[in-house]
């Protein structure tokens, strides 16, 4: 397999809450839509307040997440971010920076939208994830 054309495994995607209810065929189909992206320590993957048209799933490495200049969490293998950008073209809600070398897979919004529109179970998972985020944001 050409390393430059690496795709996420269905197992990696199944660990993403949004995709956990998908069957193997849908996971394989979705995996084909992702593109491998590599980042070095210090690289910014998402910038708070900027547009975001990509959803990411992290295969390896560590990332820091900041909101309003304050560290709010870290992300590692199996983590994902950018789902808000997949639903609405609002600016990014956080800055995500690579702490170490990172391998991630990116899924563009223009690919994701038709995928979700044909799979209501994914749309429902996204609603649940956004409700959880809202609860966390309101508790800060």
pLDDT tens digits for range 2-11: 455 689 999 9
CA-wise closest residue to 70 among 40, 44, 48, 45: 48
Helix (H) or strand (E) holding 27: helix 24-31
- At 90, the pLDDT band (50, 70, 90 cuts) reads confident
In this structure, is the dihedral angle defined by the CA atoms of residues 121, 129, 109 and 98, taken in order, positive or negative? Answer: negative
Q: Which residue has the higher pLDDT, 82 or 37?
A: 37
pTM: 0.83
The answer to whether 116 touches 54, Cβ cutoff 8 Å, is no
Q: What pLDDT was estimated at residue 4?
A: 58
Over 60: is that where the pLDDT of 1 sits?
A: no
- At 21, the pLDDT band (50, 70, 90 cuts) reads confident
Helix (H) or strand (E) holding 86: helix 83-87
Q: What is the DSSP letter of 32?
A: T
Helix (H) or strand (E) holding 64: strand 63-67
What is the token pair recorded at 50?
A: 């900027």
pLDDT tens digits for range 36-45: 999 999 999 9
- Name, in order, each residue with C-beta under 8 angstroms of 136's C-beta and a sequence gap of 6 or more: none
Q: Which residue has the higher pLDDT, 110 or 105?
A: 105
Q: What pLDDT was estimated at residue 5?
A: 66
Q: Which residue has the higher pLDDT, 77 or 53?
A: 77
């Amino acid at each position: 397999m050409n390393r430059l054309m690496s795709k996420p495994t269905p197992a990696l995607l199944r660990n993403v809450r949004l995709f956990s209810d998908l069957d193997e065929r849908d996971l394989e189909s979705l995996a084909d839509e992702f593109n491998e992206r590599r980042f070095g320590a210090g690289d910014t993957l998402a910038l708070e307040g900027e547009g975001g048209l990509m959803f990411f799933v992290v295969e390896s490495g560590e990332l820091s997440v900041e909101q309003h200049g304050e560290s709010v969490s870290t992300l590692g293998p199996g983590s994902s971010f950018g789902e808000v950008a997949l639903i609405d073209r609002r600016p990014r809600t956080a800055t995500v920076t690579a702490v170490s070398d990172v391998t991630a897979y990116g899924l563009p919004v223009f690919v994701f939208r038709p995928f979700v529109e044909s799979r209501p179970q994914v749309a429902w998972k996204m609603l649940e994830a956004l409700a959880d985020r809202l609860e966390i944001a309101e508790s800060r």
